[in-house]
Structure 1
Amino acid sequence: MLKNAAQTIGDLIDKQNVSFISSIDVEGFPYTKAMLSPRKREGIKTFYFTTNTSSMRVAQYRENPKACIYFCDKRFFRGAMLKGFMEVLEDIESKEMIWQEGDTMYYHKGATDPDYCVLKFTAQSGRYYSNFHSEDFIIE
C-alpha cells in the first residue's frame, strides 16, 4: 500500500531526467512524447515544462487539455502516471519563472521568444506501480 504518495512519487520524480507527457489528438488518440524532467514542480500536483509554442503538442493541448505525465524508474521497475490537465502559458512571468541559462540554444530571443512557452500540468489523480502491484490514488 502506498502510504505517502507525495513523498514516494516525489522522490521517484526527482531521480529521473526523462519524463513522458501525453496529449489527445483530434481523432481522440493519445500521443506520448519523451521530455526532459519538469523545470519546476509543486508537490505531485503541479508541474512546469518548456516547449515550442509552434509544436503539435501545444496545438493538441489547446484543443483538448486532458493530459497525463509519466515517470519511470527503470532500475527498480516502478513508475507513476499522473492524470490531469495541461495549460499552455505564454505570459512573461511564467516564462521567466522556469527560464534557465542555456535555453537560448532553443529559444534564440530569450524568455520573450514567441516560440517559447510553458506547459503547466495540474494532476487530479494517479496510478503508481511497484513490486508487481498497481495502485490508484487521488491528488488533493
Structure 2
Amino acid sequence: MELKRIEAFIDKQNVSFICSVDDNDFPNVKAMLRPRKRNGMKEFFFSTNTSSTRVKQYIQNPNASIYFYHKGLIKYTGVMLKGKMEVLTDQDSKNMIWKKGDTLFYKKGVTDPDYCILKFTAESGRFYCDLKTEEFYID
C-alpha cells in the first residue's frame, strides 16, 4: 500500500473525525471539517474553539486519533491515524490556516482568543479497503 494513495483518499473527504480521551479514560469522538492543512501523512491542522471540550482534553492527554472514511454503494474505505494532538495558540499558527469566512465562528477575527489550532502528529495508522486492513507507520 502506498501512502500517496492514502493521502489522495484523505484529500477527497469533506468530513473527518477526531478522538480525544476524557478524565475517565474514555474515548470521545467528534466530527470535524477536513483538516485545513496537511503536511504529508505526518501533520494535520484543524481550527477549533479554545473553549471547547476537546481542547481541554488534549491539554490533559495528547493521545489522539483521526479518522476519514468513504462509503460507496458497495465499497467502504477508512483510514485511522494514531498520534498526538497539540493545541496551538500562537499567532503564526493561527494566521497559517485562517480563512476569511472564519469570522462567522470567531467574531474577533484571527486574533480572537477563542480561536486556536489543533495540530495532529501521526505516528501510525490503519487503512481499510476491500475487506482488507493494513497497518503502517509514519516516519
Structure 2: how far apart are the matches of 1:8 and 1:83? Answer: 18
Deviation at 1:74, TM superposition (A): 1.3
Deviation at 1:73, TM superposition (A): 1.4
SS of corresponding position for 1:102: helix
Asked whether 1:62 is paired with 2:59, we answer yes
Deviation at 1:8, TM superposition (A): 1.1
* Number of equivalences: 137
Alignment root-mean-square deviation, CA = 0.6
Asked whether 1:36 is paired with 2:33, we answer yes
Asked whether 1:80 is paired with 2:79, we answer yes
SS of corresponding position for 2:100: coil
Picking from 63, 68, 80, the partner of 1:71 is: 68
CA offsets 1:31-60 (integer angstroms, 9 cap, x no match): 000000000000111000000000000000
Unaligned runs of 5+ in 1: none
Correspondence for 2:5: 8
Structure 2: how far apart are the matches of 1:66 and 1:8? Answer: 25
- Identical-pair percentage: 59
Structure 2: how far apart are the matches of 1:95 and 1:74? Answer: 33
SS of corresponding position for 2:6: helix
Unaligned runs of 5+ in 2: none
Structure 1: how far apart are the matches of 2:110 and 2:65? Answer: 26
Correspondence for 2:116: 117
Structure 2: how far apart are the matches of 1:9 and 1:40? Answer: 16
Structure 2: how far apart are the matches of 1:31 and 1:126? Answer: 18
Correspondence for 2:103: 104
Deviation at 1:111, TM superposition (A): 0.7
Moved over 3 A (4+): none
Correspondence for 2:137: 138
TM-score by length of 1: 0.96
